[in-house]
């Protein structure tokens, strides 16, 4: 599903949505022994998700640099809302000695997977600086006083009314330190409002291959309700159907900006992605992975942007 930090936008066709990955080859180093080919019966949906959707390195690159630009200091305490397997939290503690991360999610099996696969790959010292908590983002408890709070991959779209989303934004604001910053991502453009399937081949470490399918199964233009699913296909023709399913409201950038302001955030910045250029300097239709603050976007059919909201 959505992955902001890494998703190239595509201005001329559908392939820019949630799930694009900017550095497809990047990931854990392959082992010397070639692992068996992937197949639906044995593949792990969380591993496939991390390989095809997330690019936590570029996400943290952006958050770390932008916090420092806005605040003139390095962030230390990061909360990852809707953390799932806590992949981003692990990247945060790997990034710098002293960094502290707390991930919040309400799905214990997913947290358990993250502990077994992501936390366990950290050193003992790094593990001591990350906590994954089974906790509702609306009741964060002691997970407050944060420099950064992240709500990535559009997870906050599960709040479907203005009141619900504003309530969440207020909770986030009160969980930030005095100079804290809230980072979100957003996906938009006319293609976001269409029912379509986008397929993308993935080459995983160890020469393993599979196909990621982003399925915008339904969109209701009256309510903004959308259902999206992720399926995986394997070289042996087996399929993992509905590995993930999301029931969201497709929010627009103006709505989100207004609700953040109503929730009390003092400054709201939207970051637009630049164009990739070919050898002649002409835009290829893809994004270049560089996000710049602006108040003027372009009417691309599909675009990914970041939002930073200062407390």
Ligand X SMILES: C[S@@+](CC[C@H](N)C(=O)[O-])C[C@H]1O[C@@H](n2cnc3c(N)ncnc32)[C@H](O)[C@@H]1O
- Minimum distance from residue 92 beta carbon to ligand X (Å): 12
11 or 219: CB nearest ligand X: 219
Binding site for ligand X (CB under 6 A): 1, 53-54, 82-84, 104-107, 110, 136-138, 152-153, 155, 158
Residue 25's Cβ-count burial label (10 Å; 0-12, 13-18, 19+) is exposed
Structure tokens at 309: 């909201």
Q: In angstroms, what CA-CA distances link 47 with 51, 77, 210, 228?
A: 6, 26, 12, 19
Our CB check for ligand X shows the closer of 12 and 136 to be: 136
CB of 308 to ligand X, least distance (A): 16
State in angstroms the smallest separation of the CB of 67 from ligand X.
Answer: 18
- Contacts with 69 (C-beta within 8 Å, 6 or more apart), sequence order: none
Burial of 140 (0-12, 13-18, 19+ CB in 10 A): buried
Min. distance of Cβ 302 from ligand X in angstroms? 19
CB of 62 to ligand X, least distance (A): 13
Q: How far is the CB of 137 from ligand X (least distance, A)?
A: 4
Tell me if 246 sits within 8 A of 76, measured CB to CB. no
What are the angstrom distances between the C-alpha of 90 and each of 7, 48, 80, 115, 128? 20, 18, 10, 10, 11
Cβ proximity to ligand X: between 135 and 269 the closer is 135
What distance in Å separates the CA atoms of residue 45 and residue 40, rounded to the nearest whole number? 9
């Amino acid at each position: 599903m959505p992955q902001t930090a890494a998703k190239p936008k595509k201005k001329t066709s559908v392939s820019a949505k949630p799930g694009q990955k900017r550095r497809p080859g990047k990931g854990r180093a392959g082992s010397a022994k070639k692992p068996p080919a992937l197949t639906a019966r044995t593949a792990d949906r969380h591993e496939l998700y991390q390989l095809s959707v997330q690019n936590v390195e570029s996400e943290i690159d952006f958050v770390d640099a932008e916090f420092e630009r806005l605040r003139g200091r390095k962030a230390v305490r990061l909360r990852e809302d809707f953390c799932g397997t806590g992949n981003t939290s692990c990247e945060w503690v790997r990034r710098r000695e002293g960094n502290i991360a707390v991930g919040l999610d309400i799905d214990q099996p997913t947290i358990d997977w993250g502990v077994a696969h992501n936390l366990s790959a950290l050193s003992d010292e790094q593990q001591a600086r990350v906590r994954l908590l089974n906790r509702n983002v609306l009741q964060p408890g002691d997970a407050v006083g944060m420099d950064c709070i992240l709500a990535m991959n559009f997870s906050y779209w599960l709040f479907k009314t203005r009141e619900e989303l504003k309530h969440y934004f207020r909770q986030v604001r009160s969980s930030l330190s005095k100079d804290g910053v809230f980072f979100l991502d957003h996906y938009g453009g006319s293609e976001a409002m269409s029912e379509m399937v986008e397929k993308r081949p993935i080459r995983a470490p160890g020469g393993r291959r599979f196909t990621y399918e982003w399925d915008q199964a339904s969109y209701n233009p009256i309510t903004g309700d959308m259902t999206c699913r992720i399926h995986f296909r394997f070289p042996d023709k087996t399929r993992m159907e509905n590995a993930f399913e999301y029931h969201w409201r497709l929010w627009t950038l103006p709505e989100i900006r207004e609700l953040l302001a109503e929730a009390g955030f003092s400054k709201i910045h939207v970051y637009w992605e630049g164009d990739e250029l070919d050898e002649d300097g002409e835009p290829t239709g893809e994004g270049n992975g560089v996000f710049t603050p602006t108040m003027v976007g372009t009417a691309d059919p599909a675009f990914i942007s970041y939002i930073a909201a200062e407390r």
